[in-house]
Structure 1
Amino acid sequence: MNLNDRSQLLFKHLMALYLNDGKPVGSSVLAKLPDVSVSSATVRNVMSDLEKMGLIHSPHTSAGRVPTDHGFRVFVDSILTVQPLNSSLTQEIQRGFTQAQTQEELLGSASNILSGLTGMASLVMLPNQEQETLRHIDFVKLNNKRVLVVLVLNDQDVQNRIIEFEEDVSSSQLIQAANYLNEHFAGRHLSEVKKMLVERLDELRRTMDALMLSIVEATDQVIEQKMQKSAPYFVSGKTNLLNYDELADAEKLKALFHSFEEHSDMLGLLNKSMQANGVQVFIGSECGNETYQNCSVITTPYEREGEVMGVLGVVGPSRMPYDKIVPKVDMTARILSSLLKK
C-alpha cells in the first residue's frame, strides 16, 4: 500500500502513540506533535483517508482512532524498523541456557527466557518425535528384575524409563540386547526404528530366547511412549497476559488458555511457521481463530545442523513493541540453534 509522506508520518505517529499506551489517538493530539506542521483540519482529513483504507477505525466509545489488524500488518511490513539487540541482552539470553544439559532442558529454558524477556506468553514447539534420531541404547540393571532403559537421542536428549521383568535378568543378557539394538538401529529416526522393530519381531521370536525377546519388546514400548509424548510444545508466562487490559477479561483469558491446552489451533500456526524463513508475525484474524482477536503471535524456526526442528515464539496483545520483541525472538532461536549443534 502506497502512502504519501504526510499520511505515512501521521500513521507512524498514531501507531507509536497507540503501541505505547493503548488508547485511541485523536487528531488534535497528532496535530500538536513537533514534526507535524499541518493544521488539525488537515490531520482530520488524513485520518479520514487512513480510515477509508482500512488502516484505522474509531471505537464506539471514542472520537480517537486505533489501528485495525490490516493497519498493524501494514505497519509491521512497511514501516517498522527493527533494531539489533545490544550485547548485554544477547549475553542475558545466553546466560539463561547455562544450566540446561539435555535437549529438553534447552527447549524449556528457551521458553522461560522468552517469557521473561518479553513479558508475554511464550511457546517452544518440541521436535517431531518421529524425526528424532536414536544415537545409543543402554540398559542399567537396578536389581534382578528391574532395569533402567537409557535412550540417547540427537546426541543431547537422554530419556530414561524403568521396566520390570517377570524373571531375573543378567548383566550379560542386557549387554547382548544393547549390542544388538545399537548395531541395527543406532543412527536411525525413531519412526524408522519403530517400523523395523515391528517388522523383525517374528524373526526375533525364532532367533532369541524369551527373555532377550522381552527386553527388545520392552525397548519398543519405551520408544512408542517417547513418540506419543502428549504436549507438543512448552508454554511459559501465561499469567503475563493478565498485564494487558485488552486481554485481561476473564472470558478472553479463559479462551486463550484453553487454546494453549487444546494444542490444535496453535499447532497449525506453528506448523505454518516451520515452512517459512525467518521471523513471522501473525496478527489478529491471521492467527486462524477468533480467540486470538487483539493478539499477535511472533514466531521463528530453530534448527539443528541446518535442519528445522521446531518453532519458538511469543503470544501477546497486538499492541506490542514489535521493534523490541522481534529481535528477542530471533536471537533466542539463533542461540538455541547454536547450542543444539553442540
Structure 2
Amino acid sequence: MNLNERSQLLFKHLMVLYLNEGRPVGSSVLAKMPDVSVSSATIRNVMADLERMGLIHSPHTSAGRVPTEHGFRVFVDSILTVQPLNASSMKQIEQGFDKAQTQEELLGSASQILSGLTGMASLVMLPNQEQEVLRHIDFVRLNDKRALVVLVLNDLDVQNRVIEFDEPVSASHLEQAGNYLNAHFAGRHLYEVKQLLVQRMDELRKTMDQLMVSIVEATDEVIDDKMKQGMPYFISGQTNLLNYDELADAEKLRALFQSFEEHSDMLNLLNKSMQAKGVQVFIGQECGNESYQNCSVITTPYERDGEVMGVLGVVGPSRMPYDKIVPRVDMTARILSSLLNK
C-alpha cells in the first residue's frame, strides 16, 4: 500500500503510541508530536483517509483511532524498524542454554528463554521424527530377560528404553544385534530405518535365530514409539498472557490454551513457517483460528547442518513491541542452531 509521506508519518506515530500505551490515539495527540507540522484539521483529514484504507478504526466509545489487523500488517511489513539486540539480551540467551546437554534439553531451554525474554508464551516445535537420523544404537543387559536399548539421534538426542524378552538373552546376542543394526542403519533417517526393518524382517527370520529376531523386533517397536511421540512442541509462559488486558478475558484465554493443547492450528502455522526463510509475523486471523483474535505469533526456523529442523516463536497480543521481539526470536533461533550444529 502506497502512503504519501505525511500519511505514513502520522500512521507511524499512531502505531507507536498505540503499541506503547494501548489507548486510542486522537488527532490532538498527534498534533503535539515534535515533527508533525500540520494543523489539527489536516490531521483529521489524514486520519479519515487512513480509516477509509482500512488501516485504523474508531472504537465504539472513543473519538481516537486504533489500528486494524490490516493496519498492523502494513506497519510490520512496511514501516517497522527492528532494533539491534543489546548485549544484555544476548547474554541472557547464551546463558539460558548453559546447562543443556541433549537436543531435547536445548529445545526446552529455548522455549524457557523466549518466554522469559519476551514476557509472552513461547513455542519450540520439536523436529519431525522423520528428519531424525539414527547415529548409533547400543544395548545394555540388565538381567536375563531385560535390556536397555539406547538410541543416539542427531548426535545430541539420546533415547533410553527398557525392553523385555520371553527367554534369557546373553550379552553376546545383544552385541551381535547392535553390530547388525549399526552396520545396516546408522546414518539413516528414522523413517528409512523403519521402512528397511519392515522390508527385511522376513529375511532376518530366515538367517537369524529367534532370539536375535526378537531383539530386532523389540528395537523396531522402540523406533516406532519414538516416531509416534505425543507433544509436537515445547510451550512455556502461557500464564504470561494473563498480564495483557486484551487477552485477560477468561473465555478468550480458555480458547487460546485449548488451541495450544489441540495442536492442529498451531502446527499448521509452524509448518507454514518451516517453508519460509527468516522471521514470520502472523497477525489475528492469519493465525488460522478465531481464538487468536487480538494476538500475533512471531516465528522463525532453526536448523541443523543446513537443514530446517523445526520452528520456534512467541504468542502474545497484537499490541506488542515488534521492534524488540523480532530480534529476540531471531537470535534465539540462531544460537540454538549453532549449538545443535556442535
- Please indicate the TM-score interval, normalised by the length of the shorter structure: over 0.9
Q: Which amino acid aligns with 2:319?
A: R
Q: Is 1:296 the equivalent of 2:302? A: no
Cross-structure match for 1:145: 145
* Alpha-carbon shift at residue 8 of structure 1 (Å): 1.1
For 1:35 and 1:327, locate their aligned partners in 2 and report how far apart those are by CA, in whole Å.
27
Cross-structure match for 2:256: 256
Aligned ranges for residues 257-272 of structure 1 at < 5 Å?
Answer: 257-272=257-272
Cross-structure match for 2:40: 40
Aligned ranges for residues 99-114 of structure 1 at < 5 Å?
Answer: 99-114=99-114
Alignment length (residue pairs): 342
For 2:258 and 2:100, locate their aligned partners in 1 and report how far apart those are by CA, in whole Å.
29
Aligned ranges for residues 184-263 of structure 1 at < 5 Å?
Answer: 184-263=184-263
- Percent of aligned pairs with the same amino acid: 83
SS in 2 for 1:141: strand
Deviations 1:53-87 (A, max 9, x none): 11000111211110001100111111110021122
For 2:169 and 2:265, locate their aligned partners in 1 and report how far apart those are by CA, in whole Å.
46
SS in 1 for 2:100: coil
Q: Which amino acid aligns with 1:174?
A: L
* Alpha-carbon shift at residue 90 of structure 1 (Å): 1.1
Cross-structure match for 2:182: 182
The answer to which of 26-35 and 117-126 deviates more is 26-35
Aligned ranges for residues 23-102 of structure 1 at < 5 Å?
Answer: 23-102=23-102
* Alpha-carbon shift at residue 88 of structure 1 (Å): 2.5
Deviations 1:65-121 (A, max 9, x none): 100011001111111100211222112101100111111111111000000000001
The answer to which of 183-192 and 282-291 deviates more is 282-291
State TM-score, norm by structure 1.
0.99
State TM-score, norm by structure 2.
0.99
* Alpha-carbon shift at residue 269 of structure 1 (Å): 0.6
Cross-structure match for 2:135: 135
For 1:154 and 1:278, locate their aligned partners in 2 and report how far apart those are by CA, in whole Å.
23
Q: CA RMSD in A?
A: 0.8
* Alpha-carbon shift at residue 39 of structure 1 (Å): 2.0
For 1:33 and 1:186, locate their aligned partners in 2 and report how far apart those are by CA, in whole Å.
65
SS in 2 for 1:85: coil
* Alpha-carbon shift at residue 9 of structure 1 (Å): 1.1
* Alpha-carbon shift at residue 129 of structure 1 (Å): 0.1
Q: Is 1:305 the equivalent of 2:305? A: yes
For 1:2 and 1:207, locate their aligned partners in 2 and report how far apart those are by CA, in whole Å.
72
The answer to which of 319-328 and 5-14 deviates more is 5-14
Q: Which amino acid aligns with 2:336?
A: L
SS in 2 for 1:278: coil
Cross-structure match for 1:8: 8
* Alpha-carbon shift at residue 336 of structure 1 (Å): 0.4
For 1:61 and 1:166, locate their aligned partners in 2 and report how far apart those are by CA, in whole Å.
74
Q: Which amino acid aligns with 1:155?
A: D
For 1:262 and 1:232, locate their aligned partners in 2 and report how far apart those are by CA, in whole Å.
10
Which sections of structure 1, spanning at least 5 residues, go unmatched? none
Q: Which amino acid aligns with 2:183?
A: E
Cross-structure match for 1:171: 171
Cross-structure match for 1:315: 315
Cross-structure match for 2:22: 22
Q: Which amino acid aligns with 2:135?
A: R
* Alpha-carbon shift at residue 145 of structure 1 (Å): 1.5
For 2:221 and 2:185, locate their aligned partners in 1 and report how far apart those are by CA, in whole Å.
15
SS in 2 for 1:296: strand
For 2:228 and 2:108, locate their aligned partners in 1 and report how far apart those are by CA, in whole Å.
19
SS in 2 for 1:3: coil
Q: Which amino acid aligns with 1:177?
A: A
SS in 1 for 2:276: coil
For 1:93 and 1:277, locate their aligned partners in 2 and report how far apart those are by CA, in whole Å.
22
The answer to which of 19-28 and 312-321 deviates more is 19-28
For 1:216 and 1:333, locate their aligned partners in 2 and report how far apart those are by CA, in whole Å.
37
